[in-house]
Amino acid sequence: MAVLKAMGVVGGGQMGSGIAQLGAMHGLDVWLLDTDPNALFRATNSISTSINRLISKGHLSKAVGTDALRHLWYTSNLEELRSADIIIEAIVESEDVKKKLFLELDYIAKDSAILASNTSSISITRLASATSRPYQVIGMHFMNPPPIMKLVEIIRGADTSDETFSSAKTLAERFGKTVICSRDFSGFIVNRILMPMINEAFYTLYTGVATKEDIDTGMKLGTNHPMGPLELADFIGLDICLSIMKVLHVGLGDNKYAPCPLLGQYVDAGRLGRKRGIGVYDYGKVPEQVKPSARL
């Protein structure tokens, strides 16, 4: 099994930027790609802020932090990922959009490259079917935020090879993560359990059982969760939560997974959570818009 040296990450949002940071901090050359220049600009800022914070807290040496920043490149050109040994996709949670990307990645990536998806819920087997290399396609589900959270959930598609699995597991362990393995069913392990709870918190709010503050306080102090489910939904992104519930609903064919109408209404209103400055809660600020000409 060859050691992975170069990594491409597609999608420079909260997950992609964190995965790119992890790769660079652990000695890989990393290309981070996003089609939106604003997202790349935000990713550069968030990665350097996060690395500086880790250095100032003594969790990372200055030498490793500086070296990591030197091994990260930002791009909007897919061709730049040609030399990557592994490409991890972290774009919008939509099967159609991800499949289109996997088709393109299959075309540009070198023959030996592994194509991984950070999907929260979508079938790896179906994403792999868009490529000519299903044995080299795998799910690597990092948790949010990737540099901090200790878990990576690995999902094998129907045809994922043992070698691809070993490479993905070794990479996650090199990043200091604990690996769990899930079979390829909608939502895998973590979101199969977490998302229905978050959805139920929305139903509890929607049906007037309690205020958002009391729902979150109840779950924090009553069940020892570090964040309440509605706060957590804002942190994950309400668009992501809604997409996952839709995948669970269709994929598992049970109405108990029907997304709460209030969740759908918030997403329709653009209340996507922290990343938009407003979700269930109002964070009082909207992230700055950056001119497209901003230097990346």
User: Is 12 annotated in some ligand binding site?
Assistant: yes
Rg for the chain, CA atoms, rounded: 19
In contact, 180 and 189? CB cutoff 8 Å: yes
Question: Whose CB is nearest to ligand NAD?
Answer: 13
Residue 229 identity (one-letter amino acid): P
From 120, 123, 182, 186, the catalytic residue: 120
What tokens were used for 96? 């159609």
Has 200 been annotated as catalytic?
no
8 contacts ligand NAD (rule: CB under 6 A) = no
119 contacts ligand NAD (rule: CB under 6 A) = yes
- Closest C-alpha among 229, 246, 243, 245 to residue 280: 229
User: Is 15 annotated in some ligand binding site?
Assistant: yes
Q: Which of 237, 251, 259, 279 touches ligand NAD by CB under 6 A?
A: 237
Alpha-carbon distance 81 to 115, whole Å? Answer: 11
Q: Which of 4, 7, 9, 11 touches ligand NAD by CB under 6 A?
A: 11
Q: Which of 4, 7, 13, 175 touches ligand NAD by CB under 6 A?
A: 13
Q: Which of 6, 47, 88, 91 touches ligand NAD by CB under 6 A?
A: 91
From 89, 95, 118, 153, the catalytic residue: 153
Residue 214 CB, nearest approach to ligand NAD (Å): 24
In contact, 138 and 114? CB cutoff 8 Å: yes
CB of 126 or CB of 161, closer to ligand NAD: 126
From 117, 118, 141, 231, the catalytic residue: 141
Residue 232 CB, nearest approach to ligand NAD (Å): 9
CA dihedral defined by 249, 250, 254, 256, rounded to 10 degrees? Answer: 10
What tokens were used for 29? 């050359």
75 contacts ligand NAD (rule: CB under 6 A) = no
Alpha-carbon distance 229 to 27, whole Å? Answer: 35
Has 199 been annotated as catalytic?
no
DSSP-assigned letter for residue 210: S
What tokens were used for 237? 């992104």
Residue 40 CB, nearest approach to ligand NAD (Å): 8
Has 141 been annotated as catalytic?
yes
131 contacts ligand NAD (rule: CB under 6 A) = no
Alpha-carbon distance 292 to 29, whole Å? Answer: 26
**Binding-site residue positions for CoA:** 50, 57, 120
Q: Could you give the residue numbers annotated as active site?
A: 120, 141, 153, 191
